[in-house]
């Protein structure tokens, strides 16, 4: 589809000529998000500043019969922002206001384009934070988090996005503005807020979110378990969870990642370790030491080589920096990489990691791991050189094999990144025809014409321009 | 010819296949049915035609899979909450959701009715524990969503739709739940306070260094009911019941700490840690007293109330209970107003929820109306939870906003196009 002058004029009348892009070169930035395997430029990108402008944009798109897709920071790793079929991309990055912070009642009302960590910064002086902390929190937006139901290292104990969103304002695909939930108790009716969270932009555009604010814990103990091999590390994780301990975070990095992170941050990780596990407990000052001691004991029982404890806040922050910026360090290992986001029952971690190792050997593709181990949410990162066509094919096959194994072990193909366009073909493997039909019908309630974020999440919604996507190759892709 | 005096038919399928067959048949014949578990929410919402066939899930009561070290369990919908907790306790685990009448309430029913207590703010409600489910919709289609792992964003989270849908969208057949370890111990602190000090104390709790699992505010009349119901000796005044759980050391430290904090806020009335042996009774009382009040005969209640406390305001308590939603900071104002209207109340403080019992069936419509007026000031809302047999049709149990209603209808049309599942229960 080529953008029509009348459409551009109509959109320009709404947002002003400085707040839309339609020049082919400028549009290139928006041809993909963090998932760069598939690319497609939108015809126009608009940058509204208010709910009212979004309503007008949506109505205009409907009048011109063009599809539209919301976009936050574009850090999606599943191609959620891909403008399948072209059309209008509604970029929410100008809408980043914090409308209300109410510490007494424990909530904030924020714009969709607000960067996740900015909310925590706003309230940290008062001893509060916004609990969902995706590793991308320095860039990703609350609206994007709502759409994908983001998790993060600390969501093991505190819950993912949906557990912290109590209300939303939404512009529905027909331009209606709906307000669901809010800060006050449990209003009557279905939990449409909960249903919307994780709908990946296919039910409409979130234009405001009411989120819970969480008190900062009084105390932390942050430990690093150093293991000779990854199998022992995963056994330790199973033991900790199996013993009924839910730490605030439980994150694993294998040898490949340790080496890359050490080169980047010089923390002092032992380079010969098979894996390290970053374990944080938090809560009352009186309880963190007991809990840390129990965890250490369990790690020793399975044969940990060494347990270290962060001795200062600075050391703790450095450990977290290593973990959260691990993806940045991966560039040291390989020119290109591709991340998967499978989930297995937590006790099956040793099995899936063994399988990943075998798959790596089978396809002769190096795979490194850094992931939210406490949730059983793996992020195998497949390293390759994108100039090598044969390698690319092997990466795709290896990735698919790992996700199929996750399903076989009773898990899922995505714990937090979403289905997007990337994993759409796995949906029939996870769900029956009935399941998918019901999901499709629920989508039709909100998005009957299918013009909002077409071709995402459900394979049944296909046949609408997928052929126009450049199916190139697994590209250099951000991890975790 | 139908016999109007005979009991409505009871359908008690023993497997998912039978549920599918029964609902399909009803769908084909456009015959309405009600899906029931323990039957505790039969009087919730608009009254249903009493001749509707009942599809009871109580024979679907098996554990399907319990990988305890993964801390998840998959069970059938008709399993009772008590049976579930019993199963979990064998592994030192539990589902920390307070469901009244646990012996008869079913897992499916509790999800459909979204039952929870004040521990839910800290520990979570059904929306935080339901990982996946299977259900049969109004066309007899078996479908599922979610999965069996603790983290999963594949597909739409239709579980959120099932929670609180009161069997109007589908009959739940199976669910996977996240579970938690049983804490070593738990204890409540009781704090007596004056009506005019409610907000002072509640707002101070926002900054406590402790981590209460629950905070309930009870009015003097509620303290009275609780005392009678659970054989507790609570002072008959406004009180806070603050719950702690954890290791004995954690609980002891928090009980001490919070008392110090409260003493710096003002001069509370009586303040004491309730002995540990009464923890279960307090929990049970907080989750059950209001909702099960109707199970005692009115005469009994009145006698007990009058015997214990001659200043008790009303001897005509009916069995209409309500749930008001408002911001926590507005609780004091609302409670004051509602109390002048004679309501007995308990507030799940952190949620911003006030549950109450209406004083008198005859004035119910008027009281509900005026409470709703009051709630409008705080953008709050009110739902009638139990309405009892003498339903006053002038009372609307819900105060939905119109767009919510529109979308509820649209969703129901998709899953139950012939409107056979509890027709008219949530909306006409
Ligand atoms: C380095 C890195 C680390 C990451 N770590 C994590 C992690 O730890 N946990 C995790 O869960 N994810 C992680 N991600 C993935 C990604 O950051 C999250 O999915 C995030 O929530 C996306 O936010 P965004 O603002 O970038 O959204 P976008 O990428 O812009 O959009 C994501 C999806 O949401 C839709 N959308 C965006 N805004 C709205 C809106 N207002 N209304 C409706 N739909 C909307 C889009 O259409 C798209 O489908 C990571 C990504 C990177 C690059």
Q: Which letter does DSSP use for residue B9 in this model?
A: P
Tell me the residues of chain A between 78 and 117 that have a Cβ less than 8 Å away from chain B: 102-106
Of A159, A411, A438, the CB nearest to B137: A438
At residue A27, φ and ψ (nearest 5 deg) are -70, -20
Cβ partners under 8 Å of residue A430, min gap 6: A407, A412, A413, B147, B154, B155
Cβ atoms of A332 and A264 within 8 Å: the answer is: yes
**Taking the domains of chain A in order of start, what are their residue ranges?**
2-93+439-479, 98-215, 219-328, 334-418
Give the angle subtended at the CA of B75 by the CAs of B353 and B175, to the nearest 5°: 55
Q: At what angle do helices A5-15 and A51-64 cross, to 10 degrees?
A: 170
Average pLDDT in the A269-295 region?
94
Long-range Cβ pairs for the range A311-316 (8 Å, 24+): A315/A222, A316/A220, A316/A222
- Å from CA of A42 to ligand 1 middle: 18
* Phi and psi, residue A473, nearest 5°: -170, 165
Residue with tokens 């008219």: B424
Q: Is residue B47 part of a domain?
A: yes
* Count of the separate structural domains present in chain B: 2
Identity of the residue in A180, A185, A287 whose CB atom sits nearest the CB atom of B247: A287
Between A473 and A322, the higher pLDDT residue: A322
Any residues with CB less than 8 A from the CB of A403 and at least 6 apart, and which?
A340, A342, A413, A423, A426
Give mean pLDDT, residues A251-255.
Answer: 94
- Ligand 1 within 6 A of CB of A77: yes
Q: B331 with B354: CB under 8 angstroms?
A: yes
Q: What is the pLDDT of residues A365-398, one digit of tens each?
A: 999 999 999 999 999 999 988 788 888 889 989 9
| Ligand 1 pocket check for A454: Cβ under 6 Å | no
B344 shares its domain with B268: yes
Runs of H (alpha helix) within A273-418: 285-302, 313-324, 326-330, 349-363, 389-408
Measure A213 CA to nearest chain B CA, in Å. Answer: 11
Res B246: pLDDT: 94
Predicted local confidence at residue A126, as pLDDT? 96
In which band, very low, low, confident or very high, does the pLDDT at A80 lie, cut at 50, 70 and 90? very high
Q: Give the start-end residues of each E strand in B14-164.
A: 33-36, 53-56, 63-65, 72-76, 93-94, 130-137, 142-146
- d(Cα A225, Cα A374) in Å, to the nearest integer? 14
Q: Identify the helix (H) or strand (E) that includes residue A346.
A: none
Residue A448's Cβ-count burial label (10 Å; 0-12, 13-18, 19+) is exposed
Percent of chain A with pLDDT over 70: 95
Complex ipTM > 0.90: yes
Please report, for residues A207, A345, A432, B65, B166, the alpha-carbon distance to residue B18 in angstroms, rounded to integers and kept in the order given. 44, 30, 19, 21, 21
- Residues B17 and B1: their CA atoms lie apart, in Å, by 30
Residue A144, pLDDT above cutoff 70: yes
Residues B319 and B428 in one domain: no
Residue-wise pLDDT for A152-182, tens only, equals: 999 899 999 999 999 999 999 999 999 999 9
Any CB–CB contact under 8 A between A331 and chain B? no
Do B235 and B154 lie in one domain? The reply is no
Estimate to the nearest angstrom the gap between the alpha carbon of B168 and the chain centroid. Answer: 18
Whether residues B403 and B375 share a domain: the answer is: no
What value, to the nearest 5°, has the Cα angle with vertex A247 and ends B65 and B351? 80
Using alpha carbons only, what angle is made at residue A453 by residues B127 and A371, rounded to the nearest 5 degrees? 55
Residue B392 maps to a domain: no
Contact state of B151 with A180 under an 8 Å Cβ cutoff: no
Percent above pLDDT 90 for chain A: 78
How many C-beta atoms lie closer than 10 Å to residue B65's C-beta? 14
Provide the H-helix boundaries in A208-324. Answer: 230-242, 255-265, 285-302, 313-324
B414: nearest CB among A159, A198, A442 = A442
Average pLDDT over residues A84-110: 97
Whether B162 and B210 map to the same domain: the answer is no
The pLDDT mean for chain A works out to 92
Copy the structure tokens of residue A362. 């089978």
Class of domain A98-215: alpha beta
* CATH code, B348: 3.40.462.10
pLDDT of residue A463: 43
Closest-approach residue (CA) in chain B for A282: B211
Report the pLDDT value the prediction gives residue A300, as an integer from 0 to 100: 97
CA distances from A316 to A119, A309, A321 (A): 22, 9, 9
Set of chain B residues whose Cβ sits within 8 Å of the Cβ of A427: 154-155
| Ligand 1 contact, A414 CB (< 6 A) | no
Contacts of A128 (CB under 8 A, 6+ apart): A103, A213, A214, A215, A216
Classify A43 as helix, strand or coil: coil
Distance A407 CA to ligand 1 centre (A): 23
B81 lies in some domain: yes
Looking at the complex, report in whole angstroms how far the Cα of residue A322 sits from the nearest Cα belonging to chain B: 24
* Selected residues 287-306 of chain A with any CB under 8 Å from a CB in chain B: 287, 290
Q: Model's pTM, two decimal places?
A: 0.94
- What is the domain range of residue B86? 1-182+398-428
Three-class SS of residue A270? coil
CA–CA gap between residue B13 and residue B26 (Å, rounded): 14
Does residue B334 sit in the same domain as residue B288?
yes
C-alpha of A35 from chain center? 11
Low-confidence ranges of chain B (pLDDT < 50): 1-4, 294-297, 307-316
In this structure, are B361 and B377 located in the same domain? yes
In a domain, B231, yes or no: yes
Whether residue B65 is found in the same domain as residue B201:
no
A271: exposed, middle or buried (Cβ count in 10 Å: 0-12, 13-18, 19+):
exposed
Pick from B66, B73, B113, B151 the residue to mutate for testing the A interface (most A CBs within 10 Å): B151
Domain A2-93+439-479 has CATH 3.30.43.10: yes
In a domain, B423, yes or no: yes
Q: Give the contacts of B175 (CB within 8 A, at least 6 positions apart).
A: B74, B75, B77, B107, B108, B111, B130, B132, B133, B134
- Please say whether the beta carbons of B131 and B148 come within 8 A: yes
Comparing alpha-carbon positions, the chain A residue that sits nearest to B165 is A190
CA distance to partner chain A, nearest, from residue B305 (Å) = 31
Q: Which of A401, A339, A400 is nearest to A370 (CA)?
A: A339
Q: Is A3 left (phi over 0), alpha (psi -120 to 50) or beta?
A: beta
- CA–centroid distance, A478 to ligand 1, in Å, is 12
Domain A219-328 maps to which CATH number in 2.40.240.10, 3.30.70.2190, 3.40.50.1820, 1.10.3720.10?
A: 3.30.70.2190
Both B379 and B418 in one domain: the answer is: no
Q: Do domains A219-328 and A334-418 have the same CATH topology?
A: yes
**Rounded CA separation A46/A19 (Å):** 6
Contact B70 A345 (CB under 8 A): yes
Q: Which of left, alpha, beta for B419 (phi over 0: left; psi -120 to 50: alpha)?
A: left
Q: Please report, rounded to a whole number, the percentage of residues in chain B having pLDDT higher than 90.
A: 73
Write the CATH number for B81.
3.30.465.10
Number of alpha carbons in the 13 Å side-chain half-sphere of residue B239:
28
Residue to test with chain B: of A126, A161, A188, most B Cβ within 10 A: A188
> What pLDDT score was predicted for residue A330?
85
Whether residue B217 sits in one domain with residue B129: no
Q: Which of A147, A156, A340 to mutate to test the pocket of ligand 1 (most atoms within 8 A of CB)?
A: A147
**Nearest one of B352, B382, B378, B345 to B365, comparing CA atoms:** B382
Q: Is A165 in the pocket of ligand 1 (CB under 6 A)?
A: no
Distance CA B275, CA B234 (A): 12
Identify whether the C-beta of residue B163 lies closer than 8 Å to the C-beta of residue B111. Answer: yes
- Are B336 and B310 in contact by the 8 Å Cβ rule? The answer is no
Give B296's DSSP letter. S
B-chain residues near A192 (CB < 8 A): 404, 407
Radius of gyration of chain A (CA): 22
CA neighbor of A382 nearest in space, from A393, A368, A370: A368
In CATH, what class is A334-418? alpha beta
The closest CB to that of B327, out of A105, A377, A419, belongs to: A105
B-facing residues of A in 122-181 (CB < 8 A) are 127, 148-149, 151, 155, 159-160, 162-163, 176, 178-180
Confidence category of residue A334, pLDDT binned at 50, 70, 90: confident
Do B307 and B201 lie in one domain? The reply is yes
Chain B residues with CB-CB distance to A283 below 8 A: 211
Confidence of residue A425 (pLDDT cuts 50, 70, 90): very high
Phi and psi based region of residue B242 (left: phi greater than 0; alpha: psi -120 to 50; beta: remaining): beta
Return the pLDDT at A479. 36
Q: A92 CA to chain B: closest CA distance, Å?
A: 23
Closest CA relative to residue A30, chosen from A45, A47, A12, A49:
A45
What's the gap in Å between the CA of B57 and the closest CA on chain A?
21
Ligand 1 pocket mutation pick from A58, A71, A374 by most atoms within 8 angstroms of CB:
A71
Residue B393 placed within a domain: no
Q: Do A188 and B383 touch (CB under 8 A)?
A: yes
Nearest CB among B206, B211, B410 relative to A104 is that of B206
Residues B11 and B66 in one domain: yes
Q: Which residue has the tokens 């409107």?
A: B419
Spatial neighbors of B425 by CB under 8 A, at least 6 apart, are: B34, B44, B45, B46, B48, B166, B167, B168
Pairing type for strands B33-36 and B53-56 reads parallel
- CB-CB under 8 Å, A415 with B160: no
Cα–Cα distance for residue pair B102/A86, rounded to 1 Å: 54
């Amino acid at each position: 589809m080529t953008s029509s002058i009348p459409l551009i004029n109509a959109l320009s009348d709404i947002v002003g000529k400085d707040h839309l892009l339609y020049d082919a070169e400028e549009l290139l930035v928006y041809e993909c998000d963090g998932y760069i395997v598939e690319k497609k430029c939108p015809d126009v990108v608009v940058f509204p500043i208010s709910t009212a402008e979004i309503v007008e944009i949506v109505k205009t798109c409907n009048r011109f019969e063009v599809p539209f897709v919301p976009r936050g920071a574009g850090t999606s790793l599943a191609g959620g922002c891909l403008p399948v079929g072209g059309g209008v991309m509604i970029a929410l990055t100008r809408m980043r206001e914090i409308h209300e912070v109410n510490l007494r009642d424990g909530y904030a009302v924020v714009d969709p384009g607000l960067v996740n960590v900015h909310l925590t910064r706003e309230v940290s002086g008062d001893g509060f934070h916004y609990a969902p902390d995706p590793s991308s929190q320095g860039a990703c937006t609350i609206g994007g988090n709502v759409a994908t139901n983001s998790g993060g290292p600390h969501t093991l104990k505190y819950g993912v996005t949906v557990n912290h969103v109590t209300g939303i304002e939404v512009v529905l695909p027909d331009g209606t503005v709906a307000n669901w939930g809010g800060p006050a108790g449990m209003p009557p009716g279905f939990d449409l807020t909960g249903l919307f969270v994780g709908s990946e932009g296919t039910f409409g555009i979130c234009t405001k979110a009411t989120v819970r604010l969480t008190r900062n814990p009084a105390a932390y103990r942050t430990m690093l378990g150093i293991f000779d091999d990854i199998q022992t590390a995963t056994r330790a994780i199973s033991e900790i969870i199996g013993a009924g301990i839910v730490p605030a975070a439980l994150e694993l990095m294998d040898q490949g990642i340790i080496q890359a992170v050490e080169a980047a941050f010089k923390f002092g990780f032992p380079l010969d370790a098979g894996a390290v596990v970053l374990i944080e407990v938090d809560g009352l000052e009186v309880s963190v030491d007991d809990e840390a001691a129990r965890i250490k004991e369990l790690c020793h029982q399975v044969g940990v080589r060494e347990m270290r404890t962060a001795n200062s806040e600075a050391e703790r922050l450095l450990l977290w920096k290593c973990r959260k910026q691990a993806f940045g360090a991966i560039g040291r290992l390989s020119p290109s990489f591709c991340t998967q986001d499978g989930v297995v029952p937590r006790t099956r971690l040793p099995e899936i990691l063994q399988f990943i190792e075998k798959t790596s050997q089978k396809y002769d593709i190096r795979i490194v791991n850094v992931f939210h181990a406490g949730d059983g949410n793996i992020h195998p990162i497949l390293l390759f050189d994108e100039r090598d066509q044969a390698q690319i094919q092997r990466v795709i096959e290896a990735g698919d094999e790992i996700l199929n194994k996750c399903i076989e072990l009773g898990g899922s193909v995505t714990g937090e990144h979403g289905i997007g366009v990337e994993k759409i073909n796995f949906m029939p493997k996870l769900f029956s025809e009935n399941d998918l039909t019901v999901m499709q019908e629920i989508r039709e309630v909100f998005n009957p014409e299918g013009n909002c974020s077409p071709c995402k999440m459900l394979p049944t919604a296909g046949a609408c321009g997928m052929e126009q996507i450049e199916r190139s190759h697994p590209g250099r892709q951000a991890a975790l | 010819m139908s016999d109007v005096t005979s009991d409505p038919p009871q359908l008690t399928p023993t497997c998912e296949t039978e549920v599918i067959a029964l609902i399909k048949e009803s769908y084909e014949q456009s015959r309405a049915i009600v899906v029931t578990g323990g039957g505790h929410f039969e009087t919730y919402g608009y009254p249903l035609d009493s001749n509707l066939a009942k599809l009871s899930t109580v024979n679907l009561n098996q554990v399907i899979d319990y990988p305890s070290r993964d801390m998840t369990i998959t069970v059938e919908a008709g399993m009772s909450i008590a049976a579930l907790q019993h199963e979990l306790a064998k592994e030192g685990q539990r589902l920390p959701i307070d469901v009244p009448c646990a012996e008869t309430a079913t897992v499916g029913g509790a999800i459909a009715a979204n039952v929870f207590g004040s521990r839910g703010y800290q520990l979570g409600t059904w929306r935080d524990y339901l990982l996946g489910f299977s259900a049969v919709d109004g066309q007899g289609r078996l479908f599922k969503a979610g999965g069996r792992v603790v983290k999963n964003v594949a597909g739409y989270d239709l579980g959120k739709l099932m929670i609180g849908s009161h069997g109007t969208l589908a009959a739940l057949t199976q669910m996977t739940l996240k579970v938690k370890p049983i804490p070593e111990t738990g204890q409540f602190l009781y704090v007596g306070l004056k009506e005019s000090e409610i907000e002072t104390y509640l707002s101070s709790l926002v900054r406590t260094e402790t981590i209460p699992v629950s905070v309930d505010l009870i009015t003097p009349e509620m303290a009275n009911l609780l005392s009678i119901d659970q054989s507790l000796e609570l002072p008959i005044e406004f009180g806070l019941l603050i719950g702690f759980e954890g290791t004995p050391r954690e609980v002891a430290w928090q009980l001490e700490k919070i008392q110090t904090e409260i003493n710096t806020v003002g001069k509370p009335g009586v303040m004491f840690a309730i002995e540990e042996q009464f923890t279960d009774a307090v929990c049970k009382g907080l989750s059950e007293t209001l909702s099960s009040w109707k199970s005692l005969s009115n005469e009994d209640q009145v006698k007990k109330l009058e015997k214990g406390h001659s200043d008790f305001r009303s001897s005509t308590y009916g069995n209409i209970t309500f749930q008001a939603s408002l911001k926590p900071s507005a609780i004091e104002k609302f409670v004051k107003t509602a109390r002048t209207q004679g309501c007995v109340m308990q507030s799940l403080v952190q949620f911003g929820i006030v549950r109450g019992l209406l004083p008198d069936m005859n004035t119910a419509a008027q009281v509900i109306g005026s409470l709703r007026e009051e709630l409008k000031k705080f953008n709050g809302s009110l739902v009638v939870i139990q309405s009892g047999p003498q339903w006053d049709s002038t009372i609307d149990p819900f105060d939905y906003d119109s767009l919510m209603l529109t979308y509820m209808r649209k969703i129901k049309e998709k899953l139950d196009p012939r409107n056979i599942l509890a027709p008219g229960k949530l909306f006409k």
